[in-house]
Structure 1
Amino acid sequence: MGAFQMLGKELSKLTEKKGVLFSLIGVLLIPVVYVAVLLSATWGPYDNLDNLPVAFVNNDAGAESGGAPINVGNDLVADLKKNPSLGWNFVSKEEAEKGLKSQKYYMAIEIPEDFSRKVTTVLDANPEVAEVIYTQNEGLNFMAAQVTKSATEKIREQLGNKITETYTKTLFARFGDISNGFASGADGSSKLYEGTANLSAGTSQLLQSLNEKSGDIQKLASGAKTAEDGASQLLSSIKGGEKDIKRLAAGSKEVVQGIDSLKAGSDQVLNGLKTVSTGSTTLSTGLEKQLKPGAEQLAGGMAKVTESTKTLSGGSQGLTEGLKGYLAKHPELATDVEFMTLVGTSDAITKGLAQFDQQVQPLKQGADALVAGATQLTIGSKQLDAGINQLVEGQTAANAGITRLKTGANQVANGNATVASSWTKIGNAVNDLKAGLTQISDGNQTVAVGWETMTLGVTSLNDGANQLQSGSQELQTGLAGGADQVSGIQVSEANITKFSNPVSFKGETVNSYNYYRDSTAPYIISLALFVGILILSFIVDFKRPVTLPGSLFSWYASKLMQLSLFAIAQGLMVSLFSLFILKLQVNNVGLFILFTIFVSLAFMSIIFFLVAIGGNIGRFIALAFIVLQLSTTGSNLPIPMLPENLQALSKFLPLTYSNAGLKAVISLGDPGFMMANAFVLLICLVAFLVLTFIVFAVSYKHVARYIAEKNQVAEATV
């Protein structure tokens, strides 16, 4: 008997009994019913999230930011009421805890009392982190737990935007103070510039006076030196004249005449010395009471300038470090041109003040040198005054000696002893005169050196004053420019909104699902086809022939054609029902129908083999096999999200490829992807059909003998 004849026998036997026929029809409709139940719904798991009860506790007491009241908790509550993404229940903390314990709420969120206060500490030395407390009741439902967890992330994002907006308002409010500070600094630097201009003019006048008097000081020193040399010569002459005392007696008349001349000259010298003494006293007084205090005041002023410069530099450096620290906390400001200009301006001011401090140091050193020179000049002038006084005294004594010499000259004849005594006094007086002149000369030399040192110091002071004037002008320009730039920063609500939320997402979704069921359709259809073939095995005998087969091939072919007809019918009914009754949207209707039938045939080959080789044990293995594939073939989770061992296992499971192929024709619109998965299923189909043929070949003799014996018994009975 051929394969087609045996197929006819098999089909006619199924139709002989109405119960079997109705059972067969019912089995073929099982996949359709399965698909109808699970794919008819058009709702999604996120359609009714506003019914999911979540407790929200707002204990925020509020705070002040920039003089204005804020309450981040109240703002968040208002936003949630406008957009009820979940079933928000705004309750007290006690009600929330009670609802969690009674399993009423899936989650409770609390805004603490100090939330807004912590938000305002962003610019404090020790800012505090604002925290939101939430308790999630994950045990009620895992899917709900994921949804509520996603909601907390959205709330965190909302709070982050709101807090950033508050921070931005606080920061922009400080820009006004910064601008005023720059303006005040510019006014101060303007006054500093005026003071340094006056200082520069004063030092220029002082330097001019010192240069003008430098020649007179040198002449005074040279004259004193000449006077000293003359006194030395006079003293030498007087001592040499002692040998001529006897000649003095003989020429008494000439001596008297010479003494008269000497007396007149001595009076002139005495008057000149008195005049010099008066001038020296005036010079000493002027140096001590005017030049020295003035130099000390100048040195003290320069010290204050240095201290003020260091204080200003420290403040500017603190401002620069503060701006850079804020930039480190908010790296997004690196793209803000105005802010980076502010940082650069502050840094330039700090460096300018450091350079200004370095330039002031030589000026301060010059002022200190001026004080030292003035002190030395004062000491030298006092020494000169003392020497001149001694010289006056000596000249007065010499004048008196000359008077006595004149008297003695008239008495020369009375004795050389008186002349010798008078001559000795003259020698002593001239010796004193020489000593006084030596002191005057030394003092004048000291005055000349101190005058030169003071001139150099005033020159350095004048140069430093000019540099200070230039630096203060640059400082004024920089501060004024910084004030203009800071005052030009926009602080409108649009700027604050843009600053607090600078990034938005813009994108599109490809291959989207019209309904949630479209995402589960591949898994539901695959499962329905597999289960339908498995249940069919309980109605239709997959192995035993209804009559003695003519050959192994006719037996195997008749069973294969019979089951293939049922598999094709099952696949066709499922695909058509899904398309025209359930209105399932697919990218390619023809490929969807053909691939569904092909999947049904592939699953038929697997169950055909398992039932043929094991009977009920094979059916049990098929049931376990389909259960194994429920969570490992991309049905609930994408395969890349599975553990590595399950990912490796999924490559050998047919539902992996039926799911992927159905996705390709339902939602992806990728025929190439469908063909790749169909090729794997084709290998599976051929392999199991070959294995089933081997099972039939092994069982052929036993089954043929069993059918022959059964037919003999039936004939004997008849």
Structure 2
Amino acid sequence: MKNILQVFRHDLRRATSNVMAVIVLFGLVIIPSLFTWFNVMASWNPFENTKNLTVAVANTDEGYQSDLVPIRLNVGEQVQSALRANDDLHWVFTSKEEAIDGTKSGEYYAAIVLPPTFSADMMAFYSNGAERTEIEYYTNEKKNALAPKITEQGAGEVSTTINEVFTEKLSEAGLNIITSLSTYLDDADTQATLSRLQAHVSEVAAQLRAGSATADMFTSLIASSRPLVDSASELATASGDALRGATGALGNGKDAAQSLKDILASTAATLGGALSGTADSYQAVADSVDDVFSSMSAQSQSSADTIRAVAARVQTQIDQQQELRDTLVNDVRPLLPESALDSFDRAVSRIDGAIARQQELHDRLDEAATHITDTDADVQATHAEITGLIAEAKAAVNDAQNAYTGSLQPKLDALAETLAVIGGNIDSIGSDLSSVAESLSGSDSLSTALAGAESLTTDISGSLTETADRFDALAAALTKAIDTGDLSELTKVIGADPRALATHLAEPVSLERVPVFSVVSFGAAMTPLYTVLALWVGALLISVSIRVDPPQGAATELPLLSPTQTYLGRFGIFALVGFLQSTLVCLGSVLFTQVQPEHPFLLILTGWVMSLVFTLIIYTFVVTFGNAGKALAVLMLVVQISSSGGAYPLQVLPQWFQNVSPFLPATHAVNAMRSAIAGIYNNDFWVSLGLLSAFIVPALLLGLVLRLPLIGFNKKLLRALASTKLM
């Protein structure tokens, strides 16, 4: 620390003991202030001087005269009169050719040309198929970047002025026609004109009353529709409840159908397997019976046992088929529709027949086992009878299986699928009915909308009736004026000041501007950007004017220093000059340019932090990278001019600028200074100042740690440049 302070005292003594050094340091301190002050004053309020921008206006309007009112109206002349009293821009009234040529030559920044049919097009606005009236606007975008935007705003004001003048003059002309008719009442043409006007007024009154009657009709229609909608809502609700009940019942039916389908599937598999197995097993029974009868003479008792075993096997199959038959009759048949009962009964009848054949075979086998010792002729007859019974039982089983799988099972499967589809459709219908009921009776329902529409049509009817009454009064006044020449009734109808009424009709709404965080001028709003640029350039000038490597060794007053001591010690003079720069700039903004900040001390504090951060960043760049560091500082300046949001809102800039903006110190410096000038909201000043101060950390990391490996490289680079005798 002692060596660091020694370097700072050495630099300070050398800076103040030499006249040229003092002059240079004075220039370094004053230049950023001059940059900021002059730019702020130059842009203090440029939009107040737009009256010096010359805009040509060429009026080629030929005017318009109505058949109803034989008074010539020229909207273009009225616009010219209004623009002569407008000092927002320097309006020059000339011909169309000169206006266009002057815009091309640069004599005028822009030109506005009113077409010959301007008044006629404006007055035909009520005609069917009428199009918007257009004016020609020429602008010279080569002469200046900002002037076309200002003159375009002026052209927009001209368009607004034309609309206001047109409405005002149209209303004023119509009302003045009525108020000034007394001077023309003795003229025959005037009498005819008044008669036509009275007829038109009466016609308008009749149309208004017809419109009122139409509105009343809609009111009645809506009023009569509301009970229907309410009834429909109740019906939909009741239908929805009923359908939900039906859906529940159908759900049970669907469950039953699914259960039926499961039973059928299980029964089909079991019955099919049983019948198929029975048919296959009867061949084995036949073979066993043949074997038994062929060996019967030798083994009578054994053969009897074998035949009884075959009979037991047949009985087992009979029992299984009887159980399946009972399941079909008891569980499946009650769930079937009428159309499927015939096929079902036929299939059950075939199963019953198969069971009867098998039972007959079983009984005959038992009987054969009992008479196994009969004579050979009787045995062979019994053998033949049993073989026939086996064949009949096998045929009966096959017939039952075919009847079941070929006729009944497809109908049952189709029935289950049909029930599932119907259930899904009814679920959908129930959902739709629920939606309809909700739309008819909810807060945003049709009933509510109809109630609002009824109120609206009632109001419209009342308004139209009131207006029709006024037109009837006007028609009566015109009739009296035609008959007696007295316009007092007209005066009562339209008022004593037609111009005031016309002005109010032309501009019924006024705009009240309420500033939030207001600043004194445009220049004051630009002060943060100019201050940032000035202090960054000031820090760059310091790095150009003052060496970053103090002399060391026995020949100097300073001892040999470490890289850290050299870095921190020499930065002291940089920080001091930057402190003086920021102090002078901010004090001048408060006292000289009269920015009128909301928080003067915070403005000065922002300048101090800004100068410290900017000076440290640029000083570190130069210490680390040499001359390349100065170039890097210039590059950062270029990027920050656009990306800091000091002039244009970030939202209107390309996306890349918006992405890089939060990582630039100038962004947070501008935000902090804006808060100090215009006012603080939710501690945004301290947040911005903290983010700005955070850039000190990476700068110190680069200067104290990351630059150490580059020291040798920089020395070699400097020696190489010095050897060129050019750099």
Q: 1:582 aligns with which of 576, 587, 593?
A: 593
Provide the rounded CA distance (Å) in 1 between the counterparts of 2:646 and 2:219: 67
1:149 aligns to what? 152
Aligned 8 A contact 2:32 2:581 in 1 = yes
Q: Note the residue ranges of structure 1 that are not aligned, 5 or more in a row.
A: 186-318, 320-338, 353-478, 706-718
Contact conserved, 1:39 with 1:521, CA < 8 A, in 2? yes
Which residue number corresponds to residue 650 of structure 2? 639
Aligned to 1:560: 571
Residue 344 in structure 1 maps to residue 366 in structure 2: no
Q: State the AA in 2 paired with 1:645.
A: W
Aligned to 1:451: none
Tell me, in whole angstroms, the C-alpha distance in 1 between the residues paired with 2:465 and 2:640.
Answer: 76
Alignment match, 2:100: 97
Q: Could you tell me whether the CA contact under 8 Å between 1:342 and 1:482 is conserved in 2?
A: no
Aligned to 1:32: 33
SS at match of 1:54: strand
SS at match of 1:134: strand
Q: 2: CA distance between counterparts of 1:551 and 1:350? A: 95
After superposition, the C-alpha distances for 1:573-619 in whole angstroms (9 at most, x for unaligned) are 22223333433321112111111011000101210221011111100
| Closer, same or farther: CA 597–2 of 1 in aligned 2, 3 Å | same
Contact 1:178 1:486 in 2 (8 A): no
Contact 2:36 2:531 in 1 (8 A): yes
Calculate the TM-score normalised by the size of structure 2: 0.53
Q: Partner residue of 1:108?
A: 111
Conserved 8 A contact 1:182-1:480: no
RMSD (Å) for aligned C-alpha atoms? 3.4
| Distance (Å, rounded) in 2 between the aligned partners of 1:573 and 1:108 | 46
Would the aligned equivalents of 1:549 and 1:555 in 2 still touch at CA under 8 Å?
no
1:500 aligns with: 506
C-alpha separation in 1, matches of 2:143 and 2:43 = 25
Q: Residue 23 in 1 paired to residue 24 in 2?
A: yes
1:104 deviation in Å? 0.8
Tell me the residue number matched to 2:199: 177
Matching residue's letter, 2:76: G
- Determine the C-alpha separation between the residues in 2 that align with 1:704 and 1:180: 101
Partner of 2:530: 524
Asked if the contact 1:610–1:619 (Cα under 8 Å) also holds between the matched residues in 2, the reply is yes
| 2:56 alignment counterpart | 55
Shift of 1:701: 8.9
Find the counterpart in structure 2 of residue 662 from structure 1.
673
- State the alpha-carbon separation in 2 of the partners of residues 56 and 147 from structure 1: 16
Rounded to whole Å, the distance in 2 between the matches of 1:670 and 1:646 is: 25
Determine the C-alpha separation between the residues in 1 that align with 2:12 and 2:204.
101
Relative distance call for 1:160 and 1:618 in structure 2 (3 A) is same
C-alpha spacing 1:545/1:667, structure 2 compared with 1 (3 Å) = farther
Q: Aligned letter for 1:651?
A: P
* 1:371-382 equivalence runs, <5 A: none
The residue aligned with 2:308 is: none
**Residues 61 and 115, structure 2, Cα contact 8 Å, conserved in 1:** yes
CA distance in 2, matches of 1:345, 1:178: 20
CA contact (8 A) 2:535 2:611 kept: yes
For 2:202, the aligned partner's letter is N
8 Å CA contact 2:53, 2:89 repeated in 1: yes
Q: Which aligned pairs between 1:305-704 and structure 2 lie closer than 5 A?
A: 343-346=211-214, 484=469, 486-488=471-473, 491=494, 493=498, 494-546=500-552, 547-670=558-681, 672-695=683-706, 697-698=708-709
Number of aligned residues: 425
Question: Which structure has the larger Rg?
Answer: 1
Distance in 2 between the 1:4 and 1:671 partners?
40
Tell me: CA distance 1:148–1:699, structure 2 relative to 1, closer, same or farther (3 Å): closer
Structure-1 residue corresponding to 2:302: none
Quote the offset at 1:556 in angstroms. 3.3
Cα offset, 1:661, TM superposition: 1.0
Return the letter of the residue paired with 1:515. Answer: S
Distance 1:694 1:162, change over 3 A: same
SS in 2 for 1:101: helix
Residues 5-27 of structure 1, C-alpha deviation per residue, up to 9 Å, x if partnerless? 23223333444544334322322
Tell me which residue corresponds to 2:4. Answer: 3
| Pairing 1:46–2:57 present | no
Contact map agreement 1:664 1:671 (CA 8 A) in 2: no
> How far apart are 1:47 and its partner, in Å?
2.3
CA contact (8 A) 2:59 2:77 kept: yes
What secondary structure, in the 3-state scheme, does the structure 2 residue paired with 1:637 have? coil
> In structure 2, what is the Cα distance between the partners aligned to 1:560 and 1:698?
20
Equivalent position of 1:428 in the other structure = none
The aligned amino acid for 2:112 is I
Letter of the 2:472 partner, please give it.
Answer: S
Structure 1 contact 64–120 (Cα < 8 Å) conserved: no
Aligned equivalents of 1:111, 1:702: Cα separation in 2:
72
**Does structure 1 retain, via aligned residues, the 8 Å contact 2:624–2:710?**
no
| Cα distance, 1:678 vs structure 2 | 0.8
**For the residues of structure 1 that align with 2:518 and 2:467, how far apart are their CA atoms?**
54
Paired residues of 1:632 and 1:650 also in contact (CA < 8 A): yes
Q: 1:342 to 1:136 in 2, by over 3 A?
A: farther
Whether the 8 Å CA contact 2:32–2:537 is kept in 1: the answer is: yes
Structure-2 separation of matches of 1:350 and 1:614: 84
**CA drift at 1:663:** 1.1
Percent identical across equivalent pairs?
26
Which amino acid is the alignment partner of residue 655 of structure 1?
Answer: A
Alpha-carbon distance in 2 for matches of 1:346, 1:54: 51
- Describe the SS at the equivalent of 2:518: coil
